[in-house]
Structure 1
Amino acid sequence: MRAVAEFVMKSRGRAIGSAVATAFVPVLSLVSCAIVALVWLRMGRNEGIKVLLAAAIPGLYYWLGLGSPDVLLALIGAAVLAEVLHSQQGWSRMLLIGAFLASLVALSVQWLSPDMLREVINLLLDQGGLAQQYNLSASDQEQLRLMFGLLLNGVITGVQLIMLIVSMALARWWQGLLYNPGGFQQEFHALRLPAWSGLVLPLVMVVVASGQSWLMPVIPVLVVPHLIAGLALIHGIFGIKQYNSFWLGLLYVTLLFALPYMSVLLVLIALADSLMNFRHRLAPPPPPPPRDGDGES
């Protein structure tokens, strides 16, 4: 991966060509976002905008031609978050701004067509057995369809936000490899959300429970910053305690096979850390100051 970063940073032409080529392949749009972010982080806003405008051409094609705005939104999001990091506002601020922007997207963009959405919801209700298991009436089923639709739109947006954050992490890692070895690891291990951010997610859940169901797509999006912060806390603790990296790999394997349960656990850990600062409590005490005469013969 270092070779990719070195190739991209050789010249503006290589950066633009690489960003455009990878943006044309939806699977590689994550790499295109990382390239835009890397140029923005290293070379500044002016160079970053040039690469962004070129990479936006495939994004416009997918949006106007195929009705899929995800590539264009991801590229714009990468530029905005890169500007946040470039201005030294830190990862916690970047995650919260990303979650805010993604919440607006979740409320305004419908990712699935009405027909596809109806098929997915019917699959959950009928083949999932929810309608028969709980003996739901027709009106209850219609209400459940509406709730599922809103929640599913939020989940898709949350996944898009996770992929965008992965792009930012890749760009920051590339930058560390080339110009600041160990810088990304230090930043990520220190990631901790402010205490007030832990109140937003419960507050939105209370508002949704009180009848404001239109806010339901926001809930999965607001989970994402805490999920990332929980992973950062685990990495930070492993770094402080010098644990074997095998257990960290095992954590990710467990996360793949028990995603809902592990996600809840990581979010709860991140919420607690925003109040208690576990890294500070677990860090070894500083060495005592030298006394007068120490080291003298």
Structure 2
Amino acid sequence: MRGLAEYIMRGRKEATLAVAIAAAIPLLFWFSAAALALVILRRGLPEALPVLAWGMLPALAWAFVGDLTPVLVILGSAGLAVVLRQHNDWVRVVLLAVPLGVVYALALLLALAEPLQAMADGFREMLPELLPQMGLQLDGAEQATLVARLDALMIPVLGGVMGAMHMLMALISLMLARSWQARLYNPGGFRQDFHRLRLPPLVAIGLLAVVIVAPQWPQLAMLSPVASVPLLLAGLALVHGVVGIKKLGSGWLIGMYALFVIFIRFAYPLIMFVAFVDSLFDFRSRMRPPSGSPGDDDPNSQG
């Protein structure tokens, strides 16, 4: 990856080729987004605009045939890269990604209205058979009420899940770009930034409240998956930070991510809750040796 990052940083021509070619290849939009974000982080938006213009052509072609993902992720990652370059604040970036995720959800609900409705219709037909398999024994009236409620929530929640996934992809592309930048110009800088990512208490309380309460109303249900992403990233940052402080080695992180994928149904809410508790008590500062860890270099050394 270092070699690719060096190639992108050689000049505008190389960066444009990397962004455009990756955007044209199926499933490589994330690399295109990361390459563009790297140019923005290092050289600023004015220098990156020609790269963005050429790189967006393949993404727009994908959008024309019905795949909005490249356009949404590339533009979202670029916008977040501008914010990160200006403020060097990951908390600000992660929180600004929340309204971005809502925009993603609305755009995808509009673009995929027919497929989502067909999926909801199919689930509605299967639901009466699924409820007994889930251990729910309901009479006719109770079952009808539950089916109606789940049916009203299904499309908004699906839109929110898709918006959250695209939001997460944009953030991961930006993180990849920042890690490339740090590797080239400030080794260890991104690691320090990510290990310190922690949500302010009021923000964490608000996000957790949205995650829990929003599904009570179909009109707000899409907000729940989107609001969960900052808590997820803060929880993962906590795990990385603890592993770094304790010098436990990368094996612990590999094991953690393997368990997360296998038991995602339980691990996702657990990590969110741990991030919420950490926002109140700041576990990393309590675990850090009295001498502390060295601060970051001047942020301009990365930008």
TM-score scaled by structure 1? 0.88
Deviates more, 1:65-74 or 1:107-116: 107-116
- Paired residue for 1:166, among 167, 172, 189? 172
Pair 1:144–1:178, CA change in 2 (3 A)? same
1:188-267 alignment, distance < 5 Å: 188-205=194-211, 207-208=213-214, 212-267=217-272
C-alpha separation in 2, matches of 1:252 and 1:117: 33
1:20 deviation in Å? Answer: 0.7
1:122 deviation in Å? Answer: 1.9
Letter in 2 for 1:33: A
- Structure 2: unaligned runs, 5 residues or longer: 293-303
1:116 deviation in Å? Answer: 4.7
Letter in 1 for 2:130: L
Is residue 2:67 matched to residue 1:68? yes
Q: Is the 8 A contact 2:77 2:170 kept in 1?
A: yes
1:66-112 C-alpha deviation (Å, 9 max, x unpaired): 23322112111111110111013411111100112212332453153
C-alpha separation in 2, matches of 1:34 and 1:205: 28
Secondary structure of the corresponding residue to residue 68 of structure 1: coil
Secondary structure of the corresponding residue to residue 104 of structure 1: helix
1:59 deviation in Å? Answer: 2.1
Pair 1:207–1:227, CA change in 2 (3 A)? closer
- Number of the residue aligned with 1:99: 98
- Equivalent residue pairs, number: 285
C-alpha separation in 2, matches of 1:68 and 1:157: 14
Q: Is the 8 A contact 1:107 1:215 kept in 2?
A: no
Structure of greater Rg: 1
Deviates more, 1:180-189 or 1:240-249: 240-249
TM-score scaled by structure 2? 0.86
Q: Is the 8 A contact 2:62 2:68 kept in 1?
A: yes
Letter in 2 for 1:268: F
- Number of the residue aligned with 1:130: 130
Larger RCO, structure (CA 8 Å, separation 6 or more): 2
Q: What CA RMSD, in Å, does the superposition of the two structures yield over aligned residues? A: 2.2
- Number of the residue aligned with 1:42: 42
Letter in 2 for 1:286: S
1:159-180 C-alpha deviation (Å, 9 max, x unpaired): 1111111101110111011111
Q: Is the 8 A contact 1:121 1:148 kept in 2?
A: no
Pair 1:205–1:18, CA change in 2 (3 A)? closer
Is residue 2:146 matched to residue 1:144? no
- Structure 1: unaligned runs, 5 residues or longer: 288-297
1:196 deviation in Å? Answer: 1.6
